[in-house]
Amino acid sequence: MNDFVLGVDLDGVCADYEEGFRRFVATELNRSPEDLPPITHWGYDEWGLNDDDFIELHSKAVTQHMHRHLPIIEGCTDALWRLSDAGIWIRVITHRLYTNWSHEAVVSDTVAWLDQHKIPYRDLCFLGAKPQIEADLYIDDAPHNIKGLSEAGNEVIVFDQLYNRELPHRRASSWEEVEELVTELAAKKVGIQTQIPGIDAGAERLSRKKSN
Ligand SMILES: [Mg+2]
């Protein structure tokens, strides 16, 4: 069987960057998290941050290991295990290296986070500006990445967020919907069949195996 490679973005798809950043900004600027509303377009001007403020706060958050403590988006691990079990090649793709001088923290915190949440993956790619890296299908939340991927002729699923609602592409608003769409597209391309959702997803299998 040919491998079907699923390119999975991290922030805004697997990891709840916005919530993690909200917590950091609230502490750092001594503001209430309730004063930092869900963002409805790309960027953080709705929190009163211009691009320079964002870069400064983001860089500081990274050096304080924010990536290690980001909440996970519900259903992500189990869905990825089922897809992986079905033979889909999980390629984690992240664009986190866009600030200078903190690459060690970014890379080590990313790997630690993936382990902590038992996310299955066969490749881990840290990309710069280029949005694509030879996957059959991508899932992403960032409008500029989605446009770039799509314009280069790639299949992409938009992971629904308030700030990407204007994009016309195929969309999933939960990991269950991601799983359904990926299964459907992979079945068309390479004849893959997944486990039924809700049956043992296997996220705990490594710890079970270790304790046997
Ligand atoms: Mg993202």
Of residues 144, 143, 141, 123, the one with CA closest to residue 133: 123
Q: What is the pTM of this model?
A: 0.88
Q: Where in the chain is the domain with CATH 3.40.50.1000?
A: 4-15+72-206
200 is catalytic: no
Topology of domain 4-15+72-206, per CATH? Rossmann fold (3.40.50)
In tens digits, the chain (212 residues) has pLDDT values of 468 999 999 999 999 999 999 999 999 999 999 999 999 999 999 999 999 999 999 999 999 999 999 999 999 999 999 999 999 999 999 988 877 678 889 999 999 999 999 999 999 999 877 777 889 999 999 999 999 999 999 999 999 999 999 999 999 999 999 999 999 999 988 876 655 555 555 566 555 544 44
CA 20 to ligand 1 centroid distance, Å: 13
CB 170 within 8 A of CB 158: yes
User: 174 CA to middle of ligand 1, Å?
Assistant: 15
Q: Which of 11, 109, 136, 140 is catalytic?
A: 11
Does 9 participate in catalysis according to the annotation?
yes
Q: Ligand 1 centroid to 210 CA: how many Å?
A: 33
Catalytic choice (9, 78, 136, 141): 9
Tell how far the Cα of 209 is from the centroid of ligand 1, in angstroms. Answer: 32
Q: How many CA atoms lie within 13 A of 37 on its CB side?
A: 8
Report the alpha-carbon distance of residue 169 to residue 36 in Å, rounded: 28
Q: By the 8 A CB rule, do 149 and 134 touch?
A: no
Closest of 159, 165, 184, 138 to residue 73, by C-alpha: 159
Which pair of tokens denotes residue 34? 């309730």
Q: 71 C-alpha vs ligand 1 centroid, how far in Å? A: 14
Q: In this structure, are residues 74 and 175 in contact, taking their beta carbons and an 8 Å threshold?
A: yes
